[in-house]
Structure 1
Amino acid sequence: MSSQPPPPATTGDAAPKHTGVGKDLIQRGVYKPNPLGTATFIGLRSLDPLLQYQILARGWGTSLLTKLGLTVIPLYASGTPVSTMMHETGIRLLDSLNLPLPRLILLAMATGSTIKQIFWLTCTSKEEFPPSAAASVSAYNTVVNSLASFLLISTATSAALSTPLVTIPGTSLRVSLPTAVGAVMYVIGMALETVPEIQRRRFKDAPENKGKICDAGLWGWARHVNYAGYTIWRTGYGIAAGGWTAGAVVAAWHLWTFAFRSIGLMDEYMSGRYGEKWVQYKRDVPWMLFPGIY
């Protein structure tokens, strides 16, 4: 399956059938709402931050990893969060969670990914998203996020135990270098995925662009620039949880998935629908994911 909900296609005729590169989750070319699918997606994705909180703060992760014979970073000692880094952010709501900063950052990433994907479905996508697709995409994201949470709390893999520590600008808060790098990549990747999806929706909503391929904004950089954004923030998530090795594994997995499956599905769909226009767009924008690289 694709590692994220595939991007919404442009408006027009029904999509051609895909052959040779697997089956797409989205009903491409079917432009109608699916209330059950939307409700399923919103419900399941909204549960994920609650699950991650249980893993990171309520002992679910500790219990499971201990049963597997793994050592876990203790959360509390004499009622105080265990961490070489301050956990107080000065924001009452966040501090009430009483989490060390690395765990708080990972919980924020899980929450942000939920908000972003619900925004994608309800505000930028026009195509039908059935319950089966909603369940598959939600399950994938929950599994990946949970694995990251387990990596963070295990002493063998936690990025929170890495050195050196860096100070967050403008604060006295300190985090490990992988945590800081991962957080920055997460923000950049989220923007690089979300902004082009908004640009495409606005482009396709304009009557004068009917039947055209969106080449506006970031779509003039790379043909699947939102996939690049997803790969970046997912990699950052992995680095913030399990350090450089975990980040490399996450990056390799998503690059492979996009290069050998998702991009093939989109290329087949767009070729069948737009013909020579798509060929010309690929000439004008030769890069698939990262401008100047790939």
Structure 2
Amino acid sequence: MASNEKPIPEPRPEVSGHLSHLRGTPVASIAGIATFALGRLSDAPLQYLMFTEGWAVKGLTAVGLRASNLLVSAGPGIGDLGPIPSLLTGMYAVAGLRHAYWVLFTNDYNWPITTASQVILYNSVVNTINTFVAVNALTSAPYPILGSFTDCIGWKQYAGLGIFAIGIAMETIAEESRRQFKKNPKNKGKIDDTGLWSFVRHPNYLGYTLWRTGITLATGSLGATAALTALQILGFRNGGIPGITNWMSAKYGKQWDDYTKRVPYALIPGIL
């Protein structure tokens, strides 16, 4: 390296709720990738046991909050679960599959075991909080327990499922379109500013935030939804986005500056 060249800083691992983009280093850790995929796939079974084995109820009652095993299983559902726990477990499973697919087929950067473990832990902790919130909400709101599956869920679950689907689709489309952009030899050394990347600089993070919001809304608690969504946005704004911004600026220079002028919002169009 010449004396007048500045080293390109490594971006900080993004563990505030999303996958890390450890740019600049080819994939080297098969163990890290396997750890990440298996860890994320194991989350839905863990949350299922939190519901069915009564762990969530015991945890809530231990701190003096209302919870009932009967209400967790009451009504039409899947695998001894009521409708809302069934819906949440399905959403956990889809999110885990989405992350496993990403790290196995889309990701092309280094993925060490330590970073994989951090992201697994973050997602499992947030989902466990959602499970606790849902069990408490079941005892605090007049959810019907008779009728069909759709009769037993309300507008919060429908809205949450819709937001979740939009977020999963947005995150997947953003990551896959960037991968295809980078594979094209004509785009070597260029920043992807096509598709969703022309609206915000981090559409994958926006997609992640949306599907996380959707899961929490499906628990039935508006308070928890507002709190967890705000924390997620703050995590990206203060953690993941600045790290990637520094790395992109150092690597692309004026090209990055021009891109930020064309696409001024990092996460939420018109706001942030």
TM-score normalised per structure 1: 0.81
- Would the alpha carbon gap of residues 23 and 36 (structure 1) be closer, same or farther in structure 2, given more than 3 Å must change? closer
**Is the partner of 1:45 in helix, strand or coil?**
helix
Match for residue 82 of structure 1?
74
Question: Is 2:13–2:21's contact at 8 Å kept on the other side of the alignment?
Answer: no
**Is the partner of 1:152 in helix, strand or coil?**
helix
- Would the alpha carbon gap of residues 115 and 160 (structure 1) be closer, same or farther in structure 2, given more than 3 Å must change? farther
Quick check: which one's helix share is greater?
Answer: 2
**Is the partner of 1:161 in helix, strand or coil?**
coil
Match for residue 180 of structure 2?
202
CA distance in 2, matches of 1:164, 1:99: 14
Match for residue 245 of structure 1?
223
Give the alignment partner of residue 284 of structure 1, picking from 262, 265, 270. Answer: 262
- Would the alpha carbon gap of residues 136 and 58 (structure 1) be closer, same or farther in structure 2, given more than 3 Å must change? same
- Would the alpha carbon gap of residues 284 and 126 (structure 1) be closer, same or farther in structure 2, given more than 3 Å must change? same
Give the alignment partner of residue 161 of structure 1, picking from 118, 138, 141. Answer: 141
> What are the residue-to-residue correspondences of 1:50-199 with 2, within 5 Å?
50-75=45-70, 81-83=73-75, 87=76, 95=78, 97-154=79-136, 157-158=137-138, 161=141, 172-199=150-177
| Counterpart code for 1:73 | S
CA distance in 2, matches of 1:282, 1:124: 25
- Would the alpha carbon gap of residues 186 and 33 (structure 1) be closer, same or farther in structure 2, given more than 3 Å must change? same
Match for residue 25 of structure 2?
30
Give the alignment partner of residue 198 of structure 2, picking from 208, 211, 220. Answer: 220
Give the alignment partner of residue 189 of structure 2, picking from 182, 195, 211. Answer: 211
Question: Which stretch shifts more, 125-134 or 256-265?
Answer: 256-265
C-alpha deviation, 1:242, in angstroms: 4.5
TM-superposition CA deviations, 1:245-284 (whole Å, max 9, x none): 1110011101111112211111101000000010111111
TM-superposition CA deviations, 1:62-94 (whole Å, max 9, x none): 2222233322133369xxx424xxx25xxxxxx
CA distance in 2, matches of 1:135, 1:70: 31
CA distance in 2, matches of 1:274, 1:236: 35
| Counterpart code for 2:74 | V
Give the alignment partner of residue 16 of structure 1, picking from 4, 8, 26. Answer: 8
Match for residue 9 of structure 1?
none
Match for residue 258 of structure 1?
236
**Is the partner of 2:217 in helix, strand or coil?**
helix
CA distance in 2, matches of 1:223, 1:195: 14
CA distance in 1, matches of 2:32, 2:206: 26
- Would the alpha carbon gap of residues 215 and 259 (structure 1) be closer, same or farther in structure 2, given more than 3 Å must change? same
TM-superposition CA deviations, 1:198-243 (whole Å, max 9, x none): 0000000111111110111111111111111111111111111241
CA distance in 2, matches of 1:98, 1:190: 27
- Would the alpha carbon gap of residues 230 and 27 (structure 1) be closer, same or farther in structure 2, given more than 3 Å must change? closer
Question: Is 1:222–1:286's contact at 8 Å kept on the other side of the alignment?
Answer: yes
Q: Percent identity?
A: 32
RMSD, aligned α-carbons: 2.5
Give structure 2 stretches of 5+ with no counterpart: 1-6, 15-19
